[in-house]
Structure 1
C-alpha cells in the first residue's frame, strides 16, 4: 500500500509565510522610500498599504496585461515585461497617492525605485 506524503503546508505555516513575504516587501519599500524619494520618517503605514496594493495589482491586473501584451513581449524577447512591471509599479504609486501620500511619479524615479525594490526583495526572499 503506497503511503501518502506528509503535508507540511498547514494554514498556520502558509499564513506565517505570507506575513514574512509582506514584511520583506514592506522593508524593501521603506528602503525605496528612503533612498529614492528621500522620505525619512512616518511612512511605515504607507509602505504597508503600498505592499498590499502591489500584491493586489500583481494578482489581478498583471496576468491580464501580460496576456494582452504577449505578442509584443515575444517580439522583444520578454524585455517588454520589464516595462509592464515598471508601469504597474507606477500605477501602484498612483493608487497610493489617492490615499493621501504624495510621491513624485516621474518615470526615472519609478524605474529606479522598481529596480531597487526588486533587487532588495529578491535578495531578502532568498536569504530568509
Structure 2
C-alpha cells in the first residue's frame, strides 16, 4: 500500500489545482488518479530528455526554463488521460506550479517515518 499513497496525494493536488484554475478540468477522482499516474510516467520518461535537450536554455535562464518544461509535461499528461483537460498554456503553467506546491505540502503531512 506504500506505493498507492503518492498517487492519491498527487491526485488530491490535481483536484486542488482544478478547483483554483478555470482552464483546468478534471471529471472526477478517477480521472485525477489516472492523471497522477500519467504525470508520474511523463515525469519519469520524457521530462529528463526534455531537460537534457534544453539544458543550454535552462542555464541561460538560470533554471527558470524548467518551469516551462513542467508546463509542457503537464499538458502532455492531459493529452493522455480522458477526463483531464487543460485549455491554455497559462493554465498548464499555473496548474503545474499549484500541483507541485500542494503535493509537496501533502507529502510533508503524510510523510512516513
Q: TM-score, normalised by structure 1?
A: 0.76
1:122 corresponds, among 79, 84, 104, to: 104
**Structure of greater relative contact order (alpha carbons < 8 Å, 6+ residues apart):** 2
After superposition, the C-alpha distances for 1:79-126 in whole angstroms (9 at most, x for unaligned) are 111110111111111222xx3x26242112222211211110011112
TM-score by length of 2: 0.85
Gapped regions of structure 2 (runs ≥ 5): none
Q: Which of these two proteins has the greater Rg computed from alpha carbons?
A: 1
The 1:113/1:52 distance shift into structure 2, 3 A limit, reads same
Q: Secondary structure at the match of 1:103?
A: strand
Uncovered stretches (5+) of structure 1, i.e. residues with no partner: 1-14
Give the count of matched residue pairs: 109
- The whole-number CA distance in structure 2 between the counterparts of 1:123 and 1:45 is 22
